Structure 1
Amino acid sequence: MIEKIKTGVLAFLVVLSLLQSYFLAYSFPSLGTIVSTEQDYVQTEKIGQEERVENLIFPEDIVLHLGGDKHTVLYPDTEFYNRILERLRGREFKSFERNLRNVQDWDTIRSQEVGLELRFGYGVPVELLQKMMKLDGDLMFLNDQIDRIWIYRMKDREEVRVYFFSSVTSMVYESIRADLTISDVQEYAGYGEYWPSYATADGELYLPLRPLEAIESVIHYEMYSPEQMQKNLFFDPSSTRTIEDRSGTQIYTDGKRGMQVEQDGQWIKFTDPVAAASTKDVLSSNVYSAISFINQHGGWDGLHRFVNPEPEDSGRLEFRQYYQSLPILSLPSFRFGLMELAVQQGIVTEYERSLMTIASGKAEKVVRYLPGGEQLKQLVSAYDRRAEVEAVYPALRPSLTGGKQLRLTPVWAVRLQDGTTEVLGEALPAGTVLEQEVPNPARREPLDGNAASQPGQTPDK
């Protein structure tokens, strides 16, 4: 009898042991140390639209060379610009050969050959360019940065040449196997027949021969509140405190991170210091991290373009906002339309942006003209930092008008060698009447309503 009891107890203990082993293997009891990250207990509120890298990488402008020293410039998000870029997205560029930049006489090619230049203004990593175009090259090419792509037709040989210019070295890369034909290049350059004429003295600054028509807009804006951004940027908003410095700037801090609210509650600067890393930063990885960070912390409104205004090792990145095809200038007197970040090893350590976002709805518009020809040349010549000017381009200067409205006024802007931008010249007074109609650089349709049906000009929709 006793032996039977012992056998039953032993069998029970064996079954119990098997059950415990099963639960340990296939269940997740709340036992032991629980490791949680700060992100685990705070879900950020999505307060803006998300964006993808391929929508943020595009040229600052496209210069069309028509032959006979005739040129024109296309600006982002205009009809012909979009057509060319969309076509190039579907082409393949392979088999790159490296040469020194002086392998070609670029001044002669610029003035005599029909072609186009995609100019980025700053070096863009090839890894990011691959999101815009189909590129396949060796490791040296894939690890470089490109600031312009030049495509032209050699009339004496009836062939197409394609060059990618390095912004880091004096090298150019020629794509030996480019999926482009002579008729492609002819078609792209042909769009210039419907656009204003530009002249250049150095191949860098292109100035229109006549005034350009642009649009001054009055638009409505909405505001993110500092409290929204506080909840969005701090892992535990309940642990933050608010202080005010002597200048009246409001600061939110949790002891490590800080968020300054400036410009009467319209601009923030968030800082999250990290230890300096000993390894080299990878620019393309930092760009991905910056985009992901913005997607989670504030989001986007409208079209933005990635720019790389400082040396790669600085870790500073910018995303500039566009409205009606022209970039919005963020100036020290009024900061708007720009997001600035500092990124180290994929970690965002600084984040600056406006709390104002462009609202949907109808805008009030007035036609304005930007000076051209000799008047613009004189403005450039008289500019006190003329030797530092890298680019002259039309832009929009924002200003407050009251009633939650912004005025975006067309101006000529300059970009300097240190990456800063300044206003070069004002638009002509509203109501100015010129002798004949002036083409508008921000229009989204051909200047001639029948342009798309001209002989040889039937681009894809």
Structure 2
Amino acid sequence: MMDKMKTWVLTALVMMSLIQSYLLAYSMPGLGVTTSPQQGYVKAEPIGDEEKVENVIFPEDMVLHLGKEKHTVLYPASNFYNLIFGKIKSREFKGFQRSIASIVDWDEIRDRDQGLELRFGSGVPVELLSKVLKLEGDSLFMNDVVNRIWIYKSSDRDEVRTYFFSSDNVSVYESVKADLTAQDVQMYVGYGEYQVNYKRVSPDIYLPEGPVETMSSIVGYDSYTPEQMQSYLFFDPGVTRAISDRNGSQIYTDGKRGLQVEQNGRWISYTNPASVQGQDDSESQNVYTAVQFVNQHGGWDGMHRFEHAGILEDPQVLRFQQYYGSYPIIPMNPFLFGNMKLRLQQGTVSEYERSMLTLKKKPDQRTVEWLPGGAMLANAYAHYARRTEVKAVYPALLAMPGKDKTLQLHPIWAVRLSDDSEETLLDAIPGGYKPLPGEPGGAPLAADSAHGGSTPSGQGIVNGGGA
């Protein structure tokens, strides 16, 4: 009996020793618990808003072809852009017939026939686009990726043609049962009659012949705390540990997942290693998963546009470009802001990068600025060192940290290159000055004043008060 009692006492001592060893191992100096235990944990409410997939799918811009080699460009959130896109979303597109794009001289149609192009950058999966537009097609079409929709009225007869262009730059799908009339196209084109006139300098590059009105803004922001992000991203924030690396960044980990906080708490990189099953990922399903993940892990800061991965990019990586007003935000190096990136593997988010800052809806200060057009912009583009790599030229907002928890957003002409990097092509005219016809950045002297740089309501003043 005495031997059994000794055995039980010895076993109890061994168990207590093991428990103490475990507690010591997980309470090492420099690895302190960063939040309260799970039983006292209450999940934080997201600062950002929830979003729907259909709200991150929209054209990068719209090109209106007025005929007689006249064009203009509309940007997201401007009044006429919203009006046209709203009408297009109410129409039906059926009866798709596939053909080879090269059998038509599209440059001739651009310059001769009235119409409009809805351009989606590198493209958008048709399956996702069908959540925004009323599309009805076969599996070949629904599984493709399109980078533009072109609707035009033939100049020699009163009929409308509607084409969806595959991002492979080879195939095109015509909707022979599109719910559009010649009067619809004339109405869309009519919105561009009093906009800044754009000149086509290559098949996909249009440059304004006069200055474009924009806004320079100083915008306040709120900020997530590392503790809030832990509560969003870890199942049990009570067991996370904090480590400081040599670069001054803070790293939080629960032994599997990692959260790195950079730029003095302004940017995070989250990793969650996922096992790969060897099956293909569905980009459309990944977009749904990514949007829902952001909804539950911090929320959205204003308007974002989904950017399809190009042919040379990793399809598992999803990017969402942030906008303020009508224009995308580009951070000034080395500042990180304006882009949200997620990597998904078999429906699981394994990487998540985003800013910790959330912009206030109304700016603290706004100043009218004019982006130069005419010969000044054309010369800058013609002499740009990497011109052969340029995929797009567009107005954007260059973001840089300001004082007292603010960001400065300055309008620029930006270029997107073939590697999807973005650079500044030309700054706005200093001092908010609007160049007159014949002046640097202004319209040509011979240009009609209606197209020479005035920006009527609908293009310069945008919804959201941002740009």
TM-score (norm 2): 0.84
- Aligned partners of 1:203 and 1:241: how far apart in 2? 54
Q: Structure 1 stretches of 5 or more lacking a match?
A: 1-37, 446-461
- Aligned partners of 2:59 and 2:343: how far apart in 1? 23
8 Å CA contact 1:413–1:424 kept in 2: the answer is yes
Q: Does 1:155 align with 2:155?
A: yes
Which structure 2 residues correspond to residues 383-398 of structure 1 after superposition, within 5 A? Answer: 383-398=384-399
Stretch deviating more after TM superposition (312-321 or 256-265): 312-321
| Paired residue secondary structure (1:298) | coil
8 Å CA contact 2:52–2:291 kept in 1: the answer is yes
In the alignment, residue 192 of structure 1 is paired with which amino acid? G
- Aligned partners of 1:284 and 1:145: how far apart in 2? 11
Aligned twin of 1:438: 454
- Aligned partners of 1:196 and 1:49: how far apart in 2? 34
Stretch deviating more after TM superposition (59-68 or 198-207): 198-207
Stretch deviating more after TM superposition (47-56 or 289-298): 47-56
Which structure 2 residues correspond to residues 135-150 of structure 1 after superposition, within 5 A? Answer: 135-150=135-150
| Per-residue deviation, 1:42 | 8.0
Stretch deviating more after TM superposition (360-369 or 434-443): 434-443
Aligned twin of 1:199: 199
Which structure 2 residues correspond to residues 353-364 of structure 1 after superposition, within 5 A? Answer: 353-364=354-365
| Paired residue secondary structure (2:330) | coil
8 Å CA contact 1:56–1:305 kept in 2: the answer is yes
Aligned twin of 1:333: 334
In the alignment, residue 388 of structure 1 is paired with which amino acid? E
- Aligned partners of 1:332 and 1:348: how far apart in 2? 27
8 Å CA contact 2:217–2:363 kept in 1: the answer is no
| Paired residue secondary structure (1:329) | strand
Which structure 2 residues correspond to residues 10-159 of structure 1 after superposition, within 5 A? Answer: 43=43, 45-159=45-159
| Paired residue secondary structure (1:146) | strand
| Per-residue deviation, 1:47 | 3.0
| Per-residue deviation, 1:277 | 3.2
- Aligned partners of 1:306 and 1:180: how far apart in 2? 27
Aligned twin of 2:17: none
Aligned twin of 1:272: 272
Aligned twin of 1:403: 404
Report which of the two structures shows the higher radius of gyration computed on alpha carbons: 1
Aligned twin of 2:382: 381
| Per-residue deviation, 1:401 | 1.7
| Per-residue deviation, 1:69 | 0.4
| Per-residue deviation, 1:379 | 1.2
| Per-residue deviation, 1:309 | 3.9
- Aligned partners of 1:368 and 1:73: how far apart in 2? 18
| Paired residue secondary structure (1:248) | coil
8 Å CA contact 2:319–2:341 kept in 1: the answer is yes
| Per-residue deviation, 1:43 | 4.9
Aligned twin of 2:322: 321
- Aligned partners of 1:188 and 1:363: how far apart in 2? 35
8 Å CA contact 1:163–1:175 kept in 2: the answer is yes
- Aligned partners of 1:442 and 1:235: how far apart in 2? 46
- Aligned partners of 1:433 and 1:283: how far apart in 2? 44
- Aligned partners of 1:306 and 1:227: how far apart in 2? 28
Deviations 1:155-194 (A, max 9, x none): 2121000000001351000000000000000000111112
In the alignment, residue 438 of structure 1 is paired with which amino acid? S
| Paired residue secondary structure (1:192) | coil
Deviations 1:75-121 (A, max 9, x none): 00011100100001110000000000112110100000000000010
Aligned twin of 1:3: none
- Aligned partners of 2:186 and 2:96: how far apart in 1? 23
In the alignment, residue 412 of structure 2 is paired with which amino acid? V
1:310–1:341 Cα change, 3 Å: farther
Stretch deviating more after TM superposition (419-428 or 359-368): 359-368
Deviations 1:317-344 (A, max 9, x none): 1111111211111344211122111112
Aligned twin of 1:11: none
| Per-residue deviation, 1:70 | 0.2
Q: Structure 2 stretches of 5 or more lacking a match?
A: 1-37, 438-452
| Paired residue secondary structure (1:424) | strand
| Paired residue secondary structure (1:108) | helix
Question: Structure 1 vs Structure 2: percent identity of aligned residues?
Answer: 53
- Aligned partners of 2:321 and 2:367: how far apart in 1? 24
In the alignment, residue 398 of structure 2 is paired with which amino acid? R
Aligned twin of 1:174: 174
8 Å CA contact 1:47–1:298 kept in 2: the answer is yes
Stretch deviating more after TM superposition (211-220 or 283-292): 211-220
Deviations 1:122-144 (A, max 9, x none): 22011110111100000100000
Aligned twin of 1:301: 301
- Aligned partners of 2:229 and 2:93: how far apart in 1? 43
8 Å CA contact 2:332–2:400 kept in 1: the answer is no
8 Å CA contact 1:281–1:313 kept in 2: the answer is no
| Paired residue secondary structure (2:454) | coil
- Aligned partners of 1:442 and 1:304: how far apart in 2? 20
| Per-residue deviation, 1:201 | 2.3
In the alignment, residue 422 of structure 1 is paired with which amino acid? E
Which structure 2 residues correspond to residues 208-227 of structure 1 after superposition, within 5 A? Answer: 208-227=208-227
| Per-residue deviation, 1:382 | 1.9
8 Å CA contact 2:65–2:110 kept in 1: the answer is yes
